[in-house]
Amino acid sequence: MDALLSASVPAANILYATFDHPILKLAGIDAVVDAWRQREPRADGPEYLLLDEAQFIREWGTWVKHQVDFRKDRRVAFTGSATPPVEADQESGVGRWHTIRLTTLSFYEYLQIKRLVLPTLPRLRTLRDLFDWSPTDFYRTGELAGAYAGHFHEYLVRGGFPQTAQMDSITQAQRLLREDIIDKVLKRDMTALFGVRRVLDLERTFLYLCMHDGGLLDMADLCSNLEVKRPTAQHFIELLQATHLIYRLPPYGYGKDVLRARFKIYLADAAIAPAVMLKGKTLLEDAAALGVATETAVFKHLFARYYAQNVRFSYWRGKRDHEVDLVAEVGGDLIPFEVKYRARHTGARDLKGLMELCETKRIPRGYVVTKSLEGFGPWQDPTPSKTNAEAVGTRIMRIPAPLLCYWMGAAELPSTEA
């Protein structure tokens, strides 16, 4: 809206309305537009309709189809917190509307909204460029990144939400986040949009997923612990995905093996689990929980950066149960990411899964996301003999998590390469 006004679009031709307001929800979209025009005479030029909480607009797909087909003088932008308005009447929407999925704030955006003054990090066109850096480049950037580490940990606790990012108290920020998710999304939106009646069971399912963030989903264990039937639990998980509270990450592969395999579950933001589970800043004192939160943040940043390019994300498990946390399929190439966010040094034993995958698929490069800023740079096995992956030409780059999330969220990173 500010950009339109700055471009000299008449204010009378710009409408903002949010349909979680009870009067607007009751009146409907046509009545709202009619009331606007009775109050504000139209000026020359196109109209701009900015409509929030679109999931509460009745027959959204039919209305927008009519607008696009018969009102060429209007530009319409809808925002909403659930999938149904996007997918409504999808066939008739082909060529008529474009969907943009927004994740929570990236670490880069979080720093911007807090107006923090920090040392300037070098720009990075692609992660691949790191393999051309000199030892001096890694050392200097690692030194600069020291100022970002504390803010990254606070980002994991506060989350990527504009309001919680700017609140002074972390306790209040987490309380607000918890109330928004439990009261507004689970209890209000789920009931209004999907007709969910067993809200308590849905809430307990979500709490279970918060306790297993970043882990493999064991449906039998979930159903047994919560005393719900498998179709009900499956339905709840699909609804939580539709309202963008969780991501489901499939195993690498295709066909029946993937359909029968277990999915990994990631929450939409690393701060959701600590807020819902009332952990406060104690997350930072729990090495295992901090590692899970970092893995969730890394996945969210990679997904947000590349999903528009139809990049397929999965996790990989080998024959000896060795795993790789994230695998991105980019233009026919496989790019593996292993998250090892802990104090101790990452050795060859910790990277067996990554090495096995790179050897099996002959992958030229992979990435290990670390905690140590001093370890930033190419990884080399300190043992005299080379691994099989190294023998086939695989190069491994260690990247501190704050730097990876910063670069993935930076506006100046235009490339789709990894």
Convert 350-379 to b/e letters by CB count within 10 Å (16 or more is b): ebbbbbbbbbebebebbbbbbbbbebbbeb
Q: Judge if 121 and 61 occupy the same domain.
A: no
Question: Could you give the C-alpha distances from 137 to 13, 121, 131, 144, 218, in angstroms and in order?
Answer: 51, 11, 11, 11, 44
Sign (positive or negative) of CA dihedral 167, 172, 175, 179: negative
Q: Give the domain CATH number at 32.
A: 3.40.50.300
What whole-number distance in Å separates Cα of residue 380 and Cα of residue 80? Answer: 47
Is residue 39 situated within a structural domain?
A: yes
Look at residue 325 in the predicted model and tell me its pLDDT: 93
* Residue 413 pLDDT greater than 50, yes or no: no
Lowest-confidence segment of 45-49, 236-240, 366-370 by average pLDDT: 236-240
Q: Judge if 87 and 157 occupy the same domain.
A: no
Look at residue 350 in the predicted model and tell me its pLDDT: 82
Lowest-confidence segment of 16-20, 101-105, 325-329 by average pLDDT: 101-105
Is residue 329 situated within a structural domain?
A: yes
Is residue 282 situated within a structural domain?
A: yes
Look at residue 367 in the predicted model and tell me its pLDDT: 95
Q: Judge if 195 and 119 occupy the same domain.
A: yes
Q: Region 41-58: what's the mean pLDDT?
A: 90
Are residues 398 and 379 in contact, defined by beta-carbon separation less than 8 angstroms? yes
Q: Judge if 175 and 31 occupy the same domain.
A: no
What whole-number distance in Å separates Cα of residue 61 and Cα of residue 58? Answer: 9
Q: Judge if 199 and 344 occupy the same domain.
A: yes
Question: Tens of pLDDT along 360-384?
Answer: 899 999 999 999 888 899 987 655 4
Is residue 418 situated within a structural domain?
A: no
Q: Judge if 77 and 185 occupy the same domain.
A: no
Q: Judge if 89 and 117 occupy the same domain.
A: no
Look at residue 110 in the predicted model and tell me its pLDDT: 95
Look at residue 300 in the predicted model and tell me its pLDDT: 94
Q: What percent of the chain has pLDDT over 90?
A: 52
The tokens of 316 are what? 């990989």
- Confidence band, pLDDT 50/70/90 cuts, at residue 100: confident
What whole-number distance in Å separates Cα of residue 213 and Cα of residue 303? Answer: 16
Question: Tens of pLDDT along 252-285?
Answer: 986 665 656 789 999 999 999 999 888 888 888 8
CA dihedral (371, 369, 128, 100) in degrees, to 10, reads -110
- The contacts of residue 342 (CB under 8 Å, 6+ apart) are 287, 291, 371
**Residue 46 sits in which domain range?**
2-93
- Boundary of a domain, candidates 93, 124, 154: 93
Question: Could you give the C-alpha distances from 162 to 17, 114, 172, 177, 253, in angstroms and in order?
Answer: 20, 9, 14, 11, 37
What whole-number distance in Å separates Cα of residue 95 and Cα of residue 64? Answer: 12
Q: Region 93-104: what's the mean pLDDT?
A: 75
Look at residue 372 in the predicted model and tell me its pLDDT: 86
- Confidence band, pLDDT 50/70/90 cuts, at residue 387: low
Are residues 394 and 364 in contact, defined by beta-carbon separation less than 8 angstroms? yes
* Residue 230 pLDDT greater than 70, yes or no: yes
Using alpha carbons, select from 329, 206, 224, 210 the residue that is nearest to residue 279.
210
Q: What percent of the chain has pLDDT over 70?
A: 90
* Residue 391 pLDDT greater than 70, yes or no: no
What whole-number distance in Å separates Cα of residue 146 and Cα of residue 150? Answer: 8
Q: Judge if 213 and 243 occupy the same domain.
A: yes
- Confidence band, pLDDT 50/70/90 cuts, at residue 293: very high
Look at residue 277 in the predicted model and tell me its pLDDT: 85
- Boundary of a domain, candidates 93, 122, 137: 93
- Confidence band, pLDDT 50/70/90 cuts, at residue 6: very high
- Confidence band, pLDDT 50/70/90 cuts, at residue 348: confident
Question: Tens of pLDDT along 144-181?
Answer: 999 999 999 999 999 899 888 888 888 888 888 888 88
Q: How many residues does the chain have?
A: 418
Is residue 417 situated within a structural domain?
A: no
Q: Region 45-57: what's the mean pLDDT?
A: 90
Is residue 29 situated within a structural domain?
A: yes
Specify which residues 335 forms β-bridges with.
328
Q: Judge if 49 and 122 occupy the same domain.
A: no
The dihedrals phi and psi of 331, each to the nearest 5 degrees, come to: 55, 40
Is residue 416 situated within a structural domain?
A: no
Q: Judge if 181 and 291 occupy the same domain.
A: yes
- Confidence band, pLDDT 50/70/90 cuts, at residue 88: very low
Q: Region 137-147: what's the mean pLDDT?
A: 94
Question: Tens of pLDDT along 25-44?
Answer: 899 999 999 999 999 999 99
Q: CA 242, 243, 247: angle at the middle one, nearest 5? A: 65
The total domain count for the chain is 2
Q: Judge if 197 and 250 occupy the same domain.
A: yes
Look at residue 296 in the predicted model and tell me its pLDDT: 95
Using alpha carbons, select from 100, 36, 27, 91 the residue that is nearest to residue 65.
91
Look at residue 86 in the predicted model and tell me its pLDDT: 45
Question: Tens of pLDDT along 327-342?
Answer: 999 878 899 999 999 8
Q: Region 205-213: what's the mean pLDDT?
A: 93
What whole-number distance in Å separates Cα of residue 59 and Cα of residue 28? Answer: 10
User: For residues 189 and 38, which has the higher predicted lDDT (pLDDT)?
Assistant: 38
- Boundary of a domain, candidates 70, 93, 116: 93
Mean of per-residue pLDDT scores for the chain: 86
- Phi-psi sector, 393: left (phi>0), alpha (psi -120 to 50), beta: left
Q: Judge if 346 and 306 occupy the same domain.
A: yes
User: Starting at the edge strand that comes first in sequence, how are the strands of the sheet with 14-18 ordered?
Assistant: 14-18, 47-52, 74-78
Question: Could you give the C-alpha distances from 356 to 55, 312, 352, 382, 387, in angstroms and in order?
Answer: 45, 20, 6, 18, 9
Coil, strand, or helix at residue 410? coil
Is residue 173 situated within a structural domain?
A: yes
Look at residue 414 in the predicted model and tell me its pLDDT: 45
To 10 degrees, what angle do helices 135-158 and 170-179 make? 60
